[in-house]
Chain A
Amino acid sequence: MSGLEPLLLRHHHRVLVQGLTGTQGSFWAEKMRDCGTTIVGGVNPRRAGTTHLGWPVFGSAQEAMGAVGFDTALMFIPPAAAKEAALDAIAAGARGLVILTEHIPSHDVLTILGAAERAGTRVVGPNTAGLVTPGEGFAGIMPGHNANVFRPGRVGVVSRSGSLGTLVCLNLTRAGLGQSAFIGIGGDPMLGTRTIDALRALDEDAGTDAVVLVGEIGGAMEETAAAYASGMKKPVVAFIAGAAAPPNRRMGHAGAIVAGSAGSHAGKCAALAAAGVGVVATPAEIAPALAARL
């Protein structure tokens, strides 16, 4: 069982960026650094031995582990190369592995998650927008550097979606509720970190007083998390996207599809409400519902 600790990103966590030298890797690495993230280097086999934006570039994650050491690897890697990069980071002994890539072939995802489970690596994603801890840093493609969106505070946020998660954090900040952590778990159907894992991490975190759970139709992650939430002392408020989605259509995320009654909006809301979670109908209702429970 992989640890939950990498889910709450800290300034002292050493982050390796796989794909650092690409356009997105470069853009976001500088944003992360400016936000407090400790980036120790990058990986690009073709540019091993050089430096990029002041960071050393290694031929592999395993080489980087020997040279500078790291806790979490963050992948800016295209789908066809994702399996190899992930297995490299896992073999290197990464404790955390954040996979931003969308559209990784599902058999490659199975291979990655199987290897991570055996090695004890905590995978976040695939198809996640990443992790943000306001005041400490972020790892991913979230506006962690935008003080209108993220402020240090005591509300933990779990979200499958990056864009919706951003909106929810923005609304919390506007309502004067800062965040202890944002955990983007990803929009794929098969994930290394599920809703319940993120919920458990925030439940165990002394810096978190309450949790916002941002879910989506499809799968059974919210239903499983509801069972856990019923035993939590911290208040939980949930918003589930997809109430108006037509059946049997993939709503953007590969995981967001309702087939038959499984994964339906009504089923998820009912399970969460029965567990004592405050279920709201629009994102603007989240902050007031949370304030009423704090």
Chain B
Amino acid sequence: MNLAEHPAKTLVLRPAGIAVPEGEICTTPEAAAGAAGRLGTVMVKAQIPAGKRGKGGGIRLAANPGEAARAARAILGSEVSGHRVSAVLVEQAAAIAAEYYAAVLHDAASATSLVLFSGEGGMEIEEIAATRPAALSRHHVAGGEEFTREEARAMLADQNLGAEREEVAALLVSLFRRYRETDAELIEINPLARLADGSLLALDCKFILDDAAAYRQPELSARAAPEPRTALEARGAAAGLKYIELPGDVAILANGAGLTMTTMDAVHHFGGSAANFLEIGGEAYTKSEAALALVLANPNARSVVVNFCGAFARTDVMAEGVVRAWQSLNPDLPVFFSVHGTGEAEAVALIERELGLTPFDFMEDAVKAAIAAAGAHR
């Protein structure tokens, strides 16, 4: 989950001793004018969960309260990088001498943490890596090991920092410590400004909290930006189900992420179009009744394919839930099964007895039948 810029700066960076501009969140032009009255010359910044705000007209300079109100009026309610803006951050403007890039993140390929710094900030990291690779300093830290001031200094050896090297090294060490304390997948400061007096100031901050660690970061997870979800996706999340709504008409219920993706792939491969992604893998396999109800609640669904391959998940338990949901909801939709693995004999017997249906031997055949039925049902 992500934090928006303002909570990322105030809850993540400031407690780590990393300086951020004074600022206030405003939802009206009047509030923006009031904030500018207190802060002086300000930047008015659209608060959206996306980058490229400057290019999209989402960041404006305002020298006085009147300009701040005008800037806020222009930005609030507008669309920036595909997001409707409902709040702006009104922030004290700074006299910038140079812009750097600093970040700490997980490097999945090496399963280590990666500290990044570039003397050329302001642009997206992908652009820095592609166009100015030599300007990018990297340092990997293995799990359980520390990141010391000496290592920070060493990684900055090729950067043309002069007197600021020590200050940047200290900032990177603080940033790394904070990354571990906050269960971050990523903390990125871009740009990191050097001011005329040589001090460092974080002008923007991107923060991604590890979903799996949300339970032990209650303060940060409570402030996370809500995921954009459809009503059905929200219902799935509330029930602890990974449901993604898709534009097609073949509804899918399968167990395990890999098998569910494969079922969706097969629907597309044979010329159909999936109405959803929903997997009930892991402990969620016992929730098949709620899961099928969710699948059937999608008004675009014209047929259903149920594809179970039990390893950890018992297909007999899943089939029981599906049969229960089918019998209580009694939907006017054709359904096609493929059932294999743990509990297969009991599951197949139950489906044959209660629904009068025989599961297909190959999932591909169940998928083809569901596509044909969806076409006939349209």
Contact = CB atoms under 8 A, between A and B. Distances in A.
A178 interface: no
Contacts of B258: 159-165, 187, 214, 216, 241, 252-253
Contacts, number: 191
Contact of A163 (B108, B210, B309, B364): B309
Contacts of B373: none
Interface string A181-194: 00000010111100
A161 B109 CA distance: 18
A185 to B, nearest CB: 11
Contacts of B344: 146, 148
A166 B341 contact: yes
Nearest to A189: B108
Given A146-B341, A252-B256, A163 B313 contact: yes
Nearest to A167: B309
B309 A166 contact: yes
B268 A163 contact: no
Given A165-B258, A251-B261, A143 B364 contact: no
A189 B362 CA distance: 30
Interface stretch (A12-20, A48-56, A100-108, A198-206): A100-108
A8 B161 CA distance: 51
A104 B221 CA distance: 16
A256 interface: yes
Interface residue tally of chain A, by bracket?
35 or more
A262 B310 CA distance: 31
B28 to A, nearest CB: 32
B215 A256 contact: no
A6 interface: no
Given A111-B143, A166-B340, A283 B262 contact: yes
B295 to A, nearest CB: 15
A245 B264 contact: yes
B256 A163 contact: yes
B265 A143 contact: no
Contact of A252 (B145, B260, B269, B274): B260
B139 interface: no
Contacts of B259: 161, 163-164, 167
A251 B258 CA distance: 9
Interface string B16-34: 0000000000000000000
Nearest to A123: B111
Given A170-B340, A282-B269, A110 B143 contact: yes
Given A167-B363, A284-B362, A251 B265 contact: no
Interface stretch (A37-45, A57-65, A112-120): A112-120
B310 to A, nearest CB: 7
A284 B212 contact: no
Interface in A130-150: 141-143, 146, 148-149
Contacts of B260: 163, 251-252
B246 interface: yes
A214 B255 CA distance: 16
A191 to B, nearest CB: 7
Instruction: Name the residue in B106, B113, B268, B340 with the highest tally of chain A Cβ atoms < 10 Å from its Cβ.
Output: B340
Contacts of A288: none
A249 interface: yes
Nearest to A285: B364
Contacts of A114: 112, 142-145
B143 A284 contact: no
A25 interface: no
Contacts of B362: 171, 284
Contacts of B213: 105-107
B168 to A, nearest CB: 24
Nearest to A142: B311
A86 to B, nearest CB: 11
Interface in B127-156: 142-145
B251 interface: no
Contacts of B325: none
B336 to A, nearest CB: 15
Contacts of B256: 161-164, 252
A233 to B, nearest CB: 27
- Among B112, B126, B309, the one with the most A-chain Cβ atoms within 10 Å of its Cβ is B309
A252 B342 contact: no
Interface string A66-104: 000000000000011000000000000000000000111
Contact of B126 (A165, A242, A260): A260
A217 B261 CA distance: 10
A219 interface: yes
Given A149-B341, A164-B256, A245 B364 contact: no
Contacts of A161: 256-259
Interface string A240-252: 0111111001111
Contacts of A216: 257-258, 261
A106 B265 contact: no
A220 interface: yes
B111 A190 contact: yes
Interface string B202-230: 00000000111101100000000000000
Interface of A: 24, 79-80, 102-107, 109-115, 117-118, 129, 141-143, 146, 148-149, 159-167, 170-171, 187, 189-192, 214, 216-217, 219-220, 224, 239, 241-246, 249-256, 260, 281-284
22 contacts: A79-B212, A105-B183, A106-B212, A109-B143, A110-B112, A110-B143, A112-B143, A114-B143, A143-B310, A161-B256, A161-B257, A162-B256, A162-B281, A162-B312, A163-B257, A163-B260, A164-B258, A170-B340, A241-B262, A245-B264, A251-B244, A252-B281
Given A113-B143, A244-B261, 11 more contacts: A106-B106, A107-B143, A110-B113, A111-B144, A141-B312, A143-B342, A159-B258, A161-B256, A162-B258, A216-B258, A245-B277
8 shortest interchain CB distances as A-B pairs: A161-B258, A163-B256, A252-B257, A114-B143, A164-B258, A110-B143, A141-B312, A105-B213
